Amino acid sequence: MGSIKIHAGDWGKNTSGGFAFGAFSLPKPGKFMPEGIHGSELSDVEIATEESVKRIGGTVGWGAAGAVILGPVGLLAGLLLGGRKKEVTFVAKFKDGRKFLGTTDSKTFTQMSAATFK
């Protein structure tokens, strides 16, 4: 299972989830069992940029947005320049309107992106 660190959004702040076999396992606030969401419910997933973080600013909160803006840009530059870091910070949006800002490994990010094409 690809682990996802959730930084902010509709599934809490500083929580963890996962993606495996085409489905998400995301924490339910106040519940023991996580929520299972099939990947086909994902409407969009994109690498977090300053612009994408600003678009979800109301959900993320400006404090988290400010902390994230520099990280993904540096991370993306590192990936493009052949850096060793293989994590991707991204914004995931679901068809029901919920969304979150998270970080995962590049392989899991690719699998999540592929789920939007089904």
What CA–CA distance (Å, rounded) separates 21 from 63? 34
One digit per residue, the tens of pLDDT, for the chain of length 118 reads 789 999 999 998 889 999 999 999 999 878 888 999 999 999 999 988 766 655 555 444 444 444 444 455 554 455 554 444 578 999 999 999 999 999 999 899 999 999 888 6
Say what the pTM is.
0.71
Contact between 103 and 112 (Cβ < 8 Å)? no
What CA–CA distance (Å, rounded) separates 70 from 66? 7
